[in-house]
Amino acid sequence: MEYQGSLKDVRGRLVTFELSDELDIAKVSKGSNNGNIVANIAFENKDMLSDDQRKKIFALINDICEHTGYMNEEMYQKMKFYFMAYSGCDTFSIARNKVTKDFASRFIEFIIEWCFQMEIPFMNRDYHLSSNESRTLFIYLKYRSCFVCGKQHSDVAHVQAVGAGRNRRKIDHSKHEFMCLCRKHHQEQHTIGIDTFIRKHHLGVIKLNTEQIKELKIGG
């Protein structure tokens, strides 16, 4: 059982924390040793994997298991093995303070791209996109998956209007922001306006550099 909290007071070895959730003393007491409740305290490092990243990893693993029938722990170990083989990294743990945020982000990106390659549907797609991580959005663009509903073979859409009569082959796409939208949601975006559309669906947008534009074959 884990709780999060913030440090409030230190008086020698007497330390006071305020928990983010109310302590379920009945459950905690059940696991105690003759009524002696012991807790391990791990202080978070801002550069290390966050709880939100851990939740995202387990949500993705759960999506894969729902589609494939694998057990969660089995699939988690498989994804770790695939990522180690892909990246060349050593064995790792996503327990608190074990890997950096950057490492966790790369692991999340790897799982998301693997899901696209294996055509695994996302049960929690709003959650996966909520962080607005540029690399995650790039993967959605790469696989032409709608930012709203996940439908593949969708269209890359400019957030800023290109303008009637302008040659899309000659404009500087690096100055624009992009989304990927299916025909239905692309039409909705034009109907209600881009700002209302982004607020309604809680979407992020992405800017692309020259290399990414070439990789995605935008405007070519």
Please state the rounded mean pLDDT for residues 119-140: 70
Q: How is residue 133 written in tokens? A: 């991580």
In angstroms, rounded to a whole number, what is the distance separating the alpha carbons of residues 115 and 127? 15
Task: Summarize pLDDT for 32-53 with one digit per residue, the tens.
Answer: 777 788 888 877 778 899 888 8
- Whole-angstrom distance, CA of residue 64 vs CA of residue 41: 32
pLDDT tens, residue by residue, 157-216: 888 665 444 445 556 666 788 889 999 999 999 999 988 998 898 888 888 888 888 888
Cα–Cα nearest to 52, from 112, 115, 6, 94: 94
- Whole-model pTM: value is 0.68
Instruction: Classify residue 202 as left (phi > 0), alpha (psi -120 to 50) or beta.
Output: left
Query: Which among 95, 60, 97 has a CA at the least distance from the CA of 79?
Result: 60
Write out pLDDT tens, residues 9-36: 999 999 998 988 898 888 888 877 777 8
Contacts of residue 32, defined as CB under 8 A and 6 or more positions apart, other chains included, come to: 38
Reduced to 3 states (helix: H, G, I; strand: E, B; else coil), residue 129 is helix
Q: Residue 177 pairs with which residues in a beta bridge?
A: 207
Beta sheet of 177-181, edge-to-edge order? 155-158, 177-181, 206-207
Cα 147 from Cα 134, distance rounded (Å): 13
